[in-house]
């Protein structure tokens, strides 16, 4: 899973658990922070 927003983001979350990454992303967004880039695997 690789998700990079179209606008600049100062936040990068990396983990091998996609469920955790989705939870981190939702938490950051609900706190009013910019959408993070998330990566769970390198292909």
pLDDT tens figures, 1-43: 788 888 888 999 999 999 999 999 999 999 999 999 999 976 5
pLDDT for the residue 43: 58
- Give the Cα separation of 18 and 8 in Å (integer): 22
In terms of Cα–Cα distance, which of 43, 40, 42, 34 is closest to 1? 40
pLDDT for the residue 6: 86
pLDDT for the residue 42: 62
pLDDT for the residue 25: 95
In terms of Cα–Cα distance, which of 41, 9, 8 is closest to 25? 9
Domain that holds residue 34: 2-39
Q: In 1-43, at which residue ranges do the beta strands (DSSP E only) sit?
A: 2-3, 12-14, 37-39
pLDDT for the residue 7: 84
Question: What does pTM read for this prediction?
Answer: 0.78
Tally of domains within the chain: 1
């Amino acid at each position: 899973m690789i998700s990079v927003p179209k606008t600049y983001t100062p936040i990068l979350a990396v983990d091998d658990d996609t469920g955790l990454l989705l939870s981190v992303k939702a938490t950051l967004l609900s706190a009013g922070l910019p959408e993070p880039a998330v990566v769970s695997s390198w292909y």
